[in-house]
Amino acid sequence: MTPTQRKLLILDLDETLIHAAEEPLGGEPDFMIGPYFVYRRPFLDEFLEFCFENFEVAVWTSSTLVYAIRITANIFPAHRRPAFLWARERCTICFDPDLREQYFEKKMWKIRRRGYDLKAVVVVDDSPEKWRTAYGNLVRVEPFLGDREDDELKHLAVYLERLKALDNIRKFEKRNWRNRL
Q: What is the pLDDT of residue 27?
A: 86
Q: pTM of this prediction?
A: 0.94
Q: What is the pLDDT of residue 2?
A: 41
User: Which range marks the domain in which residue 85 is found?
Assistant: 8-180
pLDDT by residue (tens digit) across 158-168? 999 999 999 99
Q: What is the pLDDT of residue 42?
A: 99
Q: What is the pLDDT of residue 49?
A: 97
Average pLDDT, the chain: 94
Low-confidence ranges of the chain (pLDDT < 50): 1-4
69: in domain: yes
65: in domain: yes
1: in domain: no
78: in domain: yes
3: in domain: no
Domain count for the chain: 1
Q: Give start and end residues of each alpha helix (H) in the chain.
A: 44-54, 65-75, 109-113, 152-163
2: in domain: no
82: in domain: yes
- CATH number of residue 37's parent domain: 3.40.50.1000
